[in-house]
Chains A and B, each alone.
Chain A
Amino acid sequence: MKKYWHVIGIGIQNNLTYRVNYLTRTLFSFIPLFAMLSLWRTIFGGQGGAISGYTLAQMISYYLLVAVVDVLTAVNEDDWQIAADIREGNISQFLLKPVDYLWFRLSLFFSGRIAFMAVALVPLTIFIACFGRYFVLPAGGTACLAFCFSLILTALLQFFISYAMAMLAFWVLEVSTFIFILFAFEYIASGHMFPLDVLPPALKHALFFTPFPYQMYFPVSIYMGKIAGADLWQGMLVQAGWVLLAYAFARFMWRRGVRHYGAFGG
């Protein structure tokens, strides 16, 4: 266990060398975010009232929370790096050393998130403060606690899915197309683009049979109190189930991949 703490420590140091990169990334991401908020403000301005149970304040808060959850849990370049490790044969050393590659990458993923958070915290807080009068507070103590717990599950789910996806590098040379295709589905079906409540109910219901809503929509809805009571606990169980499933799948892909793997050169 101790060795993975070391990995996290080194990972944070490494990641902080990219702080300017992270900062520009964060600042640039405010442009489409602000545009999205303006778009919804115009739509609400046109008719007033609520859309699919969202007031204007709630809609704006939804997108701001998506930005927060994204900073905390999104897989940044981990999948690319894993694919590169496989392609270039760097994983050979992990097959020999008593370090598990999955836990190693998970530690790096967490250190990356910590470093990103440290850089994005100030600009993101300022941005949210600009929309202070729209920003709603968490629905309650339970919601707040459940939100935090669900965030961890979301992060794990994101990571394991990306890890499994990156394992494709054992078989194909270029995995970025596959990653982008999956990302497109995640982007719309996880609630990144809009809260899933604005979809026709049948479609929304169908999406909940996939892991996508648990990658974004679910924790945000907990925060906003849209999911509470029995639904909350049931949802958390399902989310935990998806995490376990994704973990098992990631392990499975790795095992199949290593069997297929031939290390060339040193």
Chain B
Amino acid sequence: MQKAEGRRQKAEIGVARHPSAVTRYLTIYGALWRTSVTREMSFKGNFILWIVVELLWFALQLCFIGVLYLHTNSIGTWTQWQVVLLVGASSFIQQTYQAFFLTNCVNVSELVRTGKMDFLLMLPINTRFLVSLRQVDLGAFINAAFASVIMFYAAARLHLHPTAVELFGFLALCVVGILIHYSLMFMLAAISFWTVRAQGIVWGYYNLFNIARMPDEAFRGVFKVVFTFVLPVLLVSNVPVRVLADKLQSPVLWPVLLGMGVICAVISEWFWRVSVRRYTSAST
């Protein structure tokens, strides 16, 4: 057993010694996955309870839609099942993001406060890579799967028959949405380099992305402009769903989402670099 372990380690070091950057990072990421799975499985009861919590809140959103449509036939041009599709897509994007990134973003302030960031900064790999992807939240994948089931059901109720191109576009835009979630949240997290005590971060994040599951036509004026072009949360799930449900009222919408995704990613990387420069180790 120990021998096998040793051989595997040796193999990993072997890969590291002749590294193509991609295989090297993939190997490291594989190792991070293994430790995450081990960690999650050591608290099985808790693991299942967190899935229940998330499912309950998802069901709550659907109940809300159900209640709203007892009293109206449409919100703007959005019909009931289109909004269900929207809530499903929004949850799918959020849960996938959560699976890969959320815990890690939340932990940044703790790393800064305790000075554990020292250790991560010294490792010979990209610090942002390690900080962003250290832990995987496996329960969130299960919740993302539930969200997909709801999306399939809503699409069936809408008699949607998306073409392969539309389906691919939808998934690609979802990935951009996840990227936007991550970029914005990582910026929020990097604030902890400035204030150290940044417990409000998760709170802020949830409030901000709360509106991602609302149909964009409910908003007008300054609010809509800010949450489209400054913090593009209104695009994140609305645009992919519009592509899928054949609701694109203008062809510039998806390039806008794509562009905003790139801009967010660039700003977030810039902000991260500026923030790290401010880091003074807490331990010394």
- CA gap between A228 and B55 in the complex, in Å: 38
Residue A262 interfacial (CB < 8 Å) = no
* A24-B204, A25-B203, A181-B56 known; A43+B211 contact, CB < 8 A: no
Q: Which of B75, B207, B211, B219 contacts A29 (CB 8 A)?
A: B207
114-149 of chain B: CB within 8 A of chain A: none
Are A177 and B76 in touch, CB under 8 angstroms?
no
- By a CB distance below 8 angstroms, the chain A residues around B43 are 174
- CA gap between A46 and B71 in the complex, in Å: 11
Are A198 and B53 in touch, CB under 8 angstroms?
no
Residue B72 interfacial (CB < 8 Å) = yes
* A34-B223, A39-B75, A198-B70 known; A184+B60 contact, CB < 8 A: yes
Are A21 and B200 in touch, CB under 8 angstroms?
yes
Chain A binder among B2-10, B44-52, B89-97, B258-266: B44-52
Least Cβ–Cβ distance between A254 and chain B, in angstroms: 23
Q: Which of B46, B49, B72, B207 contacts A28 (CB 8 A)?
A: B207
- Give the size of the chain B interface in residues (CB under 8 angstroms): 36
- Give the size of the chain A interface in residues (CB under 8 angstroms): 32
> Across the two chains, which residue of chain A brings its CB closest to B61?
A193
36-70 of chain B: CB within 8 A of chain A: 43, 46, 49-50, 52-53, 56-57, 60, 63-64, 67-68, 70
- By a CB distance below 8 angstroms, the chain B residues around A148 are none
- By a CB distance below 8 angstroms, the chain B residues around A21 are 197, 199-200
Please count the residue pairs between chain A and chain B whose beta carbons lie under 8 angstroms apart in the complex: 88
- CA gap between A51 and B94 in the complex, in Å: 32
Are A31 and B211 in touch, CB under 8 angstroms?
yes
181-204 of chain B: CB within 8 A of chain A: 195, 197, 199-200, 203-204
Q: Which of A24, A35, A43, A177 contacts B210 (CB 8 A)?
A: A35
- CA gap between A259 and B202 in the complex, in Å: 36
Are B57 and A184 in touch, CB under 8 angstroms?
yes
- CA gap between A188 and B58 in the complex, in Å: 12
Grouping DSSP codes into helix (H, G, I), strand (E, B) and loop, the B interface class, with mixed when no group exceeds half, is: helix
Residue A261 interfacial (CB < 8 Å) = no
- CA gap between A158 and B190 in the complex, in Å: 34
Residue B218 interfacial (CB < 8 Å) = yes
Are A28 and B203 in touch, CB under 8 angstroms?
yes
Are A32 and B56 in touch, CB under 8 angstroms?
no
Are B208 and A43 in touch, CB under 8 angstroms?
no
Residue A38 interfacial (CB < 8 Å) = yes
Q: Which of B71, B197, B199 contacts A198 (CB 8 A)?
A: B71
- By a CB distance below 8 angstroms, the chain B residues around A198 are 67, 70-71
* A46-B75, A177-B53 known; A193+B204 contact, CB < 8 A: no
> Across the two chains, which residue of chain A brings its CB closest to B198?
A21
Least Cβ–Cβ distance between A183 and chain B, in angstroms: 9
Are A177 and B50 in touch, CB under 8 angstroms?
yes
Are B214 and A35 in touch, CB under 8 angstroms?
yes
Least Cβ–Cβ distance between B77 and chain A, in angstroms: 10
- By a CB distance below 8 angstroms, the chain A residues around B246 are none
Are B52 and A181 in touch, CB under 8 angstroms?
yes
Least Cβ–Cβ distance between B240 and chain A, in angstroms: 19
- By a CB distance below 8 angstroms, the chain A residues around B220 are 38
Least Cβ–Cβ distance between A230 and chain B, in angstroms: 29
Residue A266 interfacial (CB < 8 Å) = no
- CA gap between A34 and B67 in the complex, in Å: 19
- CA gap between A35 and B217 in the complex, in Å: 11
Residue B35 interfacial (CB < 8 Å) = no
Are B200 and A42 in touch, CB under 8 angstroms?
no
Q: Which of B53, B74, B211 contacts A181 (CB 8 A)?
A: B53
Q: Which of A52, A174, A180 contacts B71 (CB 8 A)?
A: A52
Are A42 and B218 in touch, CB under 8 angstroms?
yes
- CA gap between A25 and B198 in the complex, in Å: 11
Are B200 and A187 in touch, CB under 8 angstroms?
no
Residue A200 interfacial (CB < 8 Å) = yes
Q: Which of A38, A42, A43, A188 contacts B223 (CB 8 A)?
A: A38
- By a CB distance below 8 angstroms, the chain A residues around B197 are 21
- By a CB distance below 8 angstroms, the chain A residues around B203 are 24-25, 28
Are A42 and B208 in touch, CB under 8 angstroms?
no
Per-position binary interface string of chain A over residues 173-202, scored 1 when its CB falls under 8 Å from any chain B CB and 0 otherwise:
010011011001001100001100011100
- CA gap between A160 and B160 in the complex, in Å: 49
Report which A residues bind B (CB closer than 8 A): 20-21, 24-25, 28-29, 31-32, 34-35, 38-39, 41-43, 46-47, 51-52, 174, 177-178, 180-181, 184, 187-188, 193-194, 198-200
A–B Cβ pairs within 8 angstroms, 5 of them = A28-B203, A28-B208, A32-B210, A35-B223, A178-B49
Q: A35-B211, A47-B72 are in contact. List 6 more A-B contacts (CB 8 A).
A: A35-B223, A42-B217, A46-B72, A51-B72, A194-B64, A200-B70
Question: What 3 A-B pairs have minimum CB-CB distances, sorted nearest first?
Answer: A177-B49, A32-B210, A28-B207
Report which B residues bind A (CB closer than 8 A): 43, 46, 49-50, 52-53, 56-57, 60, 63-64, 67-68, 70-76, 195, 197, 199-200, 203-204, 207-208, 210-211, 214, 217-220, 223
